Amino acid sequence: MIHLAGPVILAAVLAGAGVYGLLARRNAVLVLVGAELLVAAAGVLFVAASALPAGGLAALERPGAPPGSVPAADPLLSGQVLTVFAVTIAAAEVGLALAVILLLFRVRRTSDLAAVRELGEASPTYSEDPAAALPPGPVPSGSLPSGDVR
């Protein structure tokens, strides 16, 4: 049995890296990676917590309890089950997000999130008609018709 600090620190590092990726990165793919890191941190915490006995940390640190009398963990392993479930969903989510990013790149030739702010009412490039705000230039063949982009 390993110490609880390992998984928790791992989760903290993952979450911190994920938040950094979400907030500081401008590339859409890296923002997506940051989100995946947050999901992974949550999964690590789930697995670690499912190894704890019923009653959680309080049950472990009960003063005066004879060693070896730690209550059994949850036999259904619900944390691990949930994590597997989340990983499955995260896989589907990544597929969807990558498809969106791919479309964005096809239309705009960029995956920089700071360059596509036309929908924000407070942004300097806001317009009621986003199609008119498309940058001039050839739209590569194979992309969707502009009507669908809108």
CB nearer other proteins, residue 72 or residue 96: 96
Q: Does 108 bind other proteins (CB under 8 A)?
A: no
Q: Does 8 bind other proteins (CB under 8 A)?
A: no
Q: Does 14 bind other proteins (CB under 8 A)?
A: no
The least CB distance from residue 116 to other proteins, in Å, is: 8
Binding segment (CB under 8 A) for other proteins, from list 2-10, 19-27, 83-91, 135-143: 19-27
- Angle subtended by helix axes 28-50 and 5-24, to nearest 10: 160
Q: d(Cα 47, Cα 44) in Å, to the nearest integer?
A: 5
1: helix, coil or strand?
coil
Q: Does 117 bind other proteins (CB under 8 A)?
A: yes
Q: d(Cα 77, Cα 3) in Å, to the nearest integer?
A: 18
Q: d(Cα 140, Cα 97) in Å, to the nearest integer?
A: 21
CB nearer other proteins, residue 20 or residue 85: 20
